[in-house]
Amino acid sequence: ANNAAIAMSTLLRHPARSRRPQRLRQPGLTLLFSLLLICLAPALPAQPLPPYRDSSRPVEARVADLLARMTPEEKARQLDMYFGCESLLPPSQQINKTHARPDAVLDAAMAEKN
């Protein structure tokens, strides 16, 4: 009971000190650190552009880099996303103007004609 009385007495004499988290006791240090980070951030080295986004590189190098980054699923979806499949496929092999059916077969004669 004596320990409880001492603890209660301490709380009553110093209520703010006993409840305040340790990290909030030095707000000036936190502010200083935040300002330091804000000021130094522009001085940090910028991340270089990936080769596929660098317009100064040759197109072949950019395409090769992008293809190397793509998953097989992304590559397959790109093959299915083209406008104008109505000029390359018969209507029975089209879902709409931009997508072929999954089992569609390119008609080389139609492709050469168009």
Residues 54, 62: Cα–Cα separation, whole Å: 7
Tell me, what's the pLDDT at 108?
A: 73
* Contact assessment for residue 52 and residue 66, using Cβ atoms and an 8 Å cutoff: yes
Tell me, what's the pLDDT at 14?
A: 57
Three-state secondary-structure class, residue 75: helix
Write out the two tokens for 10.
């301490």
Kindly report the pTM of this predicted structure.
0.37
H runs (alpha helix) in the chain: 2-13, 15-19, 27-40, 59-69, 72-80, 108-113
Q: Which residues of the chain have pLDDT under 50?
A: none
